[in-house]
Amino acid sequence: MQRYIVRRVFYALISLVLLSITIFCLIRFTGDPAVLMVEPGASEADLQAIRQEFGLDKPWVVQYGVFMVNMARGDFGMSIYYREPAFELYLQRLPASLLLAAVAMSISLLIGIPIGILSAVRVNSWLDTIGKTFSILGLSLPSFWVGLLLIMIFSVSWGWLPSSGSGTFWHILMPAFSLGWVFSAAYTRMARSAMLDVLGSEYIKLARLKGLPEKLVIAKHAFKNAVIPVLTLAGINLVIMMNVAVVVESVFAWPGIGRLLYEGISNRDFPVVQTTVLMGGMMIVVINLLVDILYAYVDPRIRYGQ
């Protein structure tokens, strides 16, 4: 187990280093970062001053070293637009993103699991057809369009919900639904296939042979096991949701990290964009590491297999 964990942590570290190198190189391959840091139309002398201030005239290796050391200290550079440390801006926006992701997650699970389970229990019935249609539709509608449709229906036509901003419970409903939409389709599929697997297993046959009422077999014996893989996936998806929310947040002006990224692009605020992407990558690496370790802890075959 220890060797396994050490190996996984090592891989995760490699991922993080590669991640930082990728982003570091991209910025320097695709143009002069000094140009990205000043307002358009700055003079050559200004550029030179910026290069010296941020050490952009030093060799790449040195620059990368400085970049890594600063990052390790939580220094991701100053936002050009807000004149504040980019990392602090990020931390300020994080709670809103977490809230949105959590609500979206709950909505998508509440929609996805029941539809998937019902679909599996009544295989090839009209319920199943609805479930399958729903899951393929979920994959095919861009989340921002779902958002636009919701605004059209609930804000413009009926005037029930506010179309943008945050603050009250009502503000979160539409963004959370748009964000959760594609995930609920994914959970429908997963819940359906997991339930089908469970229903074919021996212990369900035994439960039925014992003469348990079908409702009890489904609700108590099958349901619990079918939901486990969905919930595991949901844990990982929480992190992913926070990082794909950018388009939904920009539709609804939700003040999360996605909105920060969007503003970063509009304002040509490069340190902010870089921070958001890097932090997103780190979160994903860390959550993957945790899941790997958790799996190995639960299932000995994984830790001895490698």
Partner 1 sequence: MDSSTASVIDSVVLSADRPSRWSGLLRSFYEAPFVPLLILVLLVLTAVGADWLAPHDPTIGNLRARYLPPVWEERGSSEYLLGTDHMGRDVLSRLIHGSRISLVVATAAVLLAGVIGTTLGILSGFRGGWIDQVVMRLTDAWMALPTISFAILLAALLRPSEWNLVVILAAVYWTRYARVIRGEVLSLKERDFVRLAIVAGCSRTRIMGTHILPNIANSAIVMATLQFGVVIIAEATLSFLGVGVAPPQPAWGLMLFEGKSGLMTGFWWLSIFPGVCIMLVVLAANLLGDWFRVWSDPQLRQL
Q: 78 has which bridge partners?
A: 85
Stretch that binds partner 1, among 61-69, 92-100, 239-247, 292-300 (CB under 8 A): 239-247
**Within the chain, where are the H helices?**
2-29, 33-37, 44-53, 60-72, 86-121, 126-140, 143-150, 169-199, 202-209, 214-216, 223-244, 246-252, 257-266, 270-298, 300-305
CB of 14 to partner 1, least distance (A): 5
CB of 210 to partner 1, least distance (A): 28
CB of 70 to partner 1, least distance (A): 18
Total number of residues that touch partner 1 (CB under 8 A): 66
Q: Please return the burial class of 69, using the count of CB atoms within 10 Å of its CB with bins 0-12, 13-18 and 19+.
A: exposed
Pattern 15-54, partner 1, x by CB under 8 A: xxxxx--xx--xx--xx----x------------------
Q: Does 67 bind partner 1 (CB under 8 A)?
A: no
Whether 143 contacts 250, CB under 8 Å = no
Angle at 185 between CA 179 and CA 190, to 5 degrees: 125
Residues 137-156 that bind partner 1 (CB under 8 A): 137, 139-142, 144-145, 148-149, 151-152, 155-156
Q: Does 94 bind partner 1 (CB under 8 A)?
A: no
- Residue 179 CA to residue 259 CA, distance in Å, equals 14
Whether 24 contacts 64, CB under 8 Å = yes
Stretch that binds partner 1, among 51-59, 72-80, 89-97, 193-201 (CB under 8 A): 193-201
Whether 230 contacts 187, CB under 8 Å = yes
| Interacting residues with partner 1 (CB under 8 A) | 11, 14-19, 22-23, 26-27, 30-31, 36, 136-137, 139-142, 144-145, 148-149, 151-152, 155-156, 163, 182-183, 185-186, 189-190, 192-193, 196-197, 233, 236-237, 240, 243-244, 246-247, 250-251, 258, 261-262, 264-266, 268, 270, 273-274, 276-277, 280-281, 284-285, 288
